[in-house]
Amino acid sequence: MNTIIAGLQWGDEGKGKIVDYLTQSADVVIRSQGGNNAGHTVITHGSKYILHLLPSGILWDDKVNVIGNGVVIDPVGLVEEIARIESQGVTVTPEKLLISDRAHIVLPIHRELDGAREAALGPHKIGTTKRGIGPAYADKINRCGLRVADFNDLAYVTERITRRVAEANEILARYDLPTFEAAAICAEVFTAFERLRPHVTNTIPVLHAAWKAKKSLLFEGAQGTLLDVDFGTYPFVTSSNTTAGGACTGSGLPPMAIESVIGVCKAYTTRVGSGPFPTADAGLSDYLHGLGREFGATTGRPRGCGWLDTVLLRFACMVNGVTGLAVTNLDGLDAYDTLQICTGYQIDGRLHTLPPAERDAWDRAVPVYESLPGWKCDTTGCTRYAELPTQAQAYLARLAELCGAPIALVGVGPDRAQTLAV
């Protein structure tokens, strides 16, 4: 079964755990977009692993992991990530990790340009992680980016970096930000790339051979649907296509290779960074933060938390073609007497069951809630779906009904074992 794992909210849905869980029956795990602005936390056998560029399948010894052409790679950051995970006992060999030679590169200047742009936007800032992802994708679209394959000609790369540094320094100087020396950047990036070189290959024929051999392929998405550059809450979005379609363009595999799409959402809603969030609830945020939950894996920033928003989920299921829902963090609601589910928005006196495209409409969106009884008991010890309280099962059934997709998996805790198949 070839499956895409897609986030259905604003990212941070727990996709890493779901990918890790499903990897046991997969042969190849593919990351197809985004950069190290994403963070997946996987907890298994009592150990915690935080991944940014590495696919979550890296934790399994007998799986092939691919960083696809749609990813923008910070070579320095990736080398550091490999070193960190190897210090935790995970092996990262050239047979186990393949890097597309068509993937674009994030340079140190991209990170600074990201920060400069955020500073220039002031109160209208996007809330990026300042990892340089947006400027790297901008260079890609402007056809002036560097790709992994270019590092076979270091003279060419040196010339391109020197030119790009000069352009970037002009911008950074306007904001009194530190400027860069091209030679220092070249030395840093070349050193990192030499560590990565054994992993680099043309991944497209590798993936097509696996597909033709009927191997099981698992596509790991980064961020979530509402951060998609086309379908998200624009302009408060990321710079790539985070939806299921991005898995094809970011890997080189055609749509007919895809057999299922698992959409991942929390049992409530979270968001980090700037942008609209109609169902945000300060009380739920305080409660979850008090439990030590809902802090970003990449930045450590506390996430805003709110009630489940099925206006967003309904739309996300549409654009991704979701065939099954993986609902994580159900246990986060264990203590509540009454739960709220947003079923629509009132905007200027009209009921909307799908999110608006107009930026200003979000400022006037008032959530319409439906109340359901909570279950007021600990679900973290449940080992089968049938063991969940009847109120929890009713909550999930209503979620599925409102979203138009069946429940496939339920998470009742952070560990791999705390995943219930329906």
Which secondary-structure segment (H or E) carries 204?
helix 203-212
Q: Label residue 158 by pLDDT band (50, 70, 90).
A: very high
| Cα distance between residue 110 and residue 32, in whole Å | 20
- Residue found under tokens 């080189």: 252
* Predicted model pTM: 0.93
Same domain, yes or no: 184 and 109: yes
More confident residue, 168 or 149: 149
Total of domains in the chain:
3
Same domain, yes or no: 171 and 210: no
The string of pLDDT tens digits covering residues 313-333 is 999 999 999 999 999 999 999
* pLDDT, position 46: 78
What's the mean pLDDT in 373-391? 97
- DSSP 8-state assignment for residue 176: T
Q: 302: domain CATH number?
A: 3.90.170.10
Q: 30: domain CATH number?
A: 3.40.440.10
* pLDDT, position 41: 79
Q: For residue 156, what are its two tokens?
A: 């060419």
Which secondary-structure segment (H or E) carries 90?
none
Same domain, yes or no: 358 and 404: yes
Q: Which of 261, 283, 299 is the last residue of a domain?
A: 261
The string of pLDDT tens digits covering residues 281-303 is 999 999 999 988 988 766 678 99
* pLDDT, position 114: 76
* pLDDT, position 102: 98
Q: Label residue 199 by pLDDT band (50, 70, 90).
A: very high
What positions carry a catalytic annotation? Answer: 12, 40
* pLDDT, position 386: 97
Same domain, yes or no: 209 and 73: yes
**Domain region containing 94:** 3-100+201-261
The string of pLDDT tens digits covering residues 9-66 is 999 899 988 988 999 999 999 999 999 877 777 887 778 888 999 998 999 989 999 9
Q: Label residue 398 by pLDDT band (50, 70, 90).
A: very high
Same domain, yes or no: 28 and 153: no
Q: Which of 237, 261, 285 is the last residue of a domain?
A: 261
Same domain, yes or no: 295 and 411: yes
DSSP string, 124-144: G------SSHHHHHHHHHTT-
Q: 114: domain CATH number?
A: 1.10.300.10
* pLDDT, position 117: 73
* pLDDT, position 111: 86
CA distances from 228 to 33, 176, 186, 231 (A): 11, 32, 32, 5
Same domain, yes or no: 242 and 188: no
308: β partners: 341
Same domain, yes or no: 59 and 82: yes
Same domain, yes or no: 143 and 24: no
Same domain, yes or no: 316 and 405: yes
| Cα distance between residue 218 and residue 215, in whole Å | 10
Minimum mean pLDDT range among 112-116, 162-166, 186-190, 389-393: 112-116
Which secondary-structure segment (H or E) carries 165?
helix 154-174
Total number of residues shown for the chain: 422
Same domain, yes or no: 277 and 408: yes
* pLDDT, position 178: 84
Which secondary-structure segment (H or E) carries 73?
strand 72-73
Q: Which of 261, 277, 292 is the last residue of a domain?
A: 261
Same domain, yes or no: 41 and 73: yes
The rounded mean pLDDT for the chain is 93
